[in-house]
Structure 1
Amino acid sequence: MISKIKLKNIILSSVLVVLAGCSSAPEDEDVDLVLRSKSAQSLYEDAKEKMRLGNFNAATETLSALDSRFPFGPLSHQVQLDLIYGYYKTGKTDEALATIDRFTRLNPNHSDVDYAIYMRGLTNMEVDSNLFQELVGIDRSDRDPSNSRQAFNDFRRLIEKYPNSKYAADAQKRMLHIKSRLAKYEISIARYYMRRDAYVAAANRGRYVIEHYPDTTHVQEALEIMVECYDQLQLDELKNNAMKTLKLNYPNSSFIS
């Protein structure tokens, strides 16, 4: 048989649960009512003010609601462009990429489509970065660089289609940074193969860096890896060719006896 104290506690808990449910519902209704009571222009001005103050989470909520309510209104294009930036700033990369792709697909001739493509590159770069690891000095150059490759393609697309875009110069700089990231990844994988005595695979990674990323700072490492791997494989001609290139371009290399 349930004691009076236990019964009282059960009843009290039930009442609190009901009250909690009731208290949240009107609040949600109030927010929706506020959104419905304002014009598109008023909502947009609210969102812009929130962005100006750095409150990107609140801004994207308002912009998203505005985009849903007025998908084809006079403000729709600007709302979507601001929403892209808001998603980027709040780290909502999937939402940002989806909004970018929708905008570029539906508005291929819009005057700001170059901005959308540029933001696609930035968003893909952001996916590949890890601020915490950079802060504590952890080298994770061996992580999958697929997003960096996609960002590189985004920036290349921007430069090829809109060479006079005001974002083209920055996109070019970012492409150089990405190439360095990709080259570093190849070097990391090459060293992984070397630790497992897979010298052919390691040498191929080194050659790949030289062929595809010759304007990065990782060419010297690639040549040194090739020299060492060809030495282990007793491929003297290939080793000598790699050593000759190393001596010519990096005479201070420790691999040069």
Structure 2
Amino acid sequence: MPLTFAKKAAGSAALAAVLVSLSASPGLCAWYDSLDPSQWFAEKYKPEVQPDIPADKLYSDGLANLEDRNFEIATQKFEDLDKRYPSTDWSRKAILMTAYANYEGQKYDDAINASKRYLQRHPATKDAAYAQYLMAMSQYKQIPDVTRDQDRSEKALIALTELVQKYPTSEYAADAKAKIQITRDQLAGKEMEVGRFYLERRNFPAAINRFRDVVSKYQTTRHAEEALERLAEAYMALGITSEAQTAAAVLGHNYPDSQWYKDAYALLQNGGLQPREEKSSWLSKIYRGVIGRTAAAE
């Protein structure tokens, strides 16, 4: 027991000596003081007070940067305006201008997101048609060439169609209609490319499905003539002569001066056949419907 007490006393004396040494050293004292938790974040996390910038000043700054084609800075100004003045008319303007600045800066996905946000918050305002137009054009600008996936074309067609349906009297409707036709032509072109691929490899059923999509969905595009002729080719190769004759007859009825009709006619003649429409054919039904709808529209 006395020995244990002596050891404890010696340890206490050594600890006291260390503390005295620390207190006598200025540098070590400073290090020790820095362990005070109240001092750890004093300088790192000072409260930051944002200046109160008037809404019209932020908006004007955004417009000025737009004019100077500083689209990224302009976007930042409009986004800041939306955050500082939520649920105000300034916020509404800011969201729309954010979409426009991103569109002009070719940040099309950001423009789409801002346009959607505007339409969700302000669907009944006079600028809703313009927001829809910006969204549709942002999709349209990203349409790839016909050899690639056409997901963007599908989305552009949906957005453009919604614009025409929801805002038929808007100043953007005419342009949207023209671009709908271009987009449909693009989608038909993709179907034709895949159909030719199958036709060259003698996969006639797969080719027919692609050409059938063209004449079913995109009859008013420039690809319809070729699709009808390719259908005649594929059906002849499969020995389904009645459908081949119908394809040629429909082609001749709708495009009598087409080179594609001349090719289809020659193909049938080589097989001892003539163009002849089978009224029960799916092709005949489709084009009778198209002719009827066109006449009604006129």
TM-score, scaled to structure 2: 0.67
Choose which of 162, 165, 183 in structure 2 pairs with 1:160.
165
Q: Which blocks of at least 5 consecutive residues in structure 1 are unaligned?
A: 1-31, 130-139
**For residues 190-205 of structure 1, what are the structure 2 equivalents within 5 Å?**
190-205=195-210
Deviation of 1:44 after TM superposition, in Å, equals 0.9
1:103 and 2:108 are equivalent in the alignment: no
Q: What CA deviation, in whole Å up to 9, does each residue of 1:97-122 have, x standing for no partner? A: 22111111111211111111111110
Contact 1:142 1:189 in 2 (8 A): no
* Letter of the structure 2 residue corresponding to residue 203 of structure 1: I
**For residues 55-204 of structure 1, what are the structure 2 equivalents within 5 Å?**
55-129=70-144, 140-204=145-209
1:216 and 2:231 are equivalent in the alignment: no
CA distance in 2, matches of 1:171, 1:79: 24
Contact 1:226 1:239 in 2 (8 A): yes
**For residues 218-233 of structure 1, what are the structure 2 equivalents within 5 Å?**
218-233=223-238
What does residue 28 of structure 1 align with? none
* Change beyond 3 A, Cα 1:250–1:50: farther
Task: Give the secondary-structure state (helix, strand or coil) at the position aligned to 1:182.
Answer: helix
Measured on the aligned residues, the alpha-carbon RMSD in Å equals: 2.0
Percent identical residues: 29
Deviation of 1:220 after TM superposition, in Å, equals 1.3
* Letter of the structure 1 residue corresponding to residue 74 of structure 2: A
CA distance in 2, matches of 1:64, 1:238: 59
CA distance in 2, matches of 1:172, 1:76: 31
What does residue 137 of structure 1 align with? none
CA distance in 2, matches of 1:121, 1:166: 14
CA distance in 2, matches of 1:72, 1:219: 50
What does residue 39 of structure 1 align with? 54
CA distance in 2, matches of 1:127, 1:36: 39
Structure 1: 4+ residue segments shifted above 3 A: 35-38
What does residue 240 of structure 2 align with? 235
Task: Give the secondary-structure state (helix, strand or coil) at the position aligned to 1:75.
Answer: helix
CA distance in 2, matches of 1:65, 1:196: 58
CA distance in 2, matches of 1:173, 1:207: 24
* Letter of the structure 1 residue corresponding to residue 209 of structure 2: N
Contact 1:57 1:90 in 2 (8 A): yes
Contact 1:220 1:250 in 2 (8 A): no
What does residue 16 of structure 1 align with? none
Structure number, greater radius of gyration: 2
Deviation of 1:160 after TM superposition, in Å, equals 1.4
Higher RCO (CA-CA < 8 Å; seq separation 6+): 1
TM-score, scaled to structure 1: 0.77
Q: What CA deviation, in whole Å up to 9, does each residue of 1:10-57 have, x standing for no partner? A: xxxxxxxxxxxxxxxxxxxxxx99x84632211110110111222222
CA distance in 2, matches of 1:213, 1:117: 24
What does residue 282 of structure 2 align with? none
Contact 2:58 2:81 in 1 (8 A): yes
Deviation of 1:76 after TM superposition, in Å, equals 1.0
Q: Which blocks of at least 5 consecutive residues in structure 2 are unaligned?
A: 1-47, 267-298
Deviation of 1:239 after TM superposition, in Å, equals 0.9
CA distance in 1, matches of 2:153, 2:86: 32
CA distance in 2, matches of 1:205, 1:123: 28
1:49 and 2:49 are equivalent in the alignment: no
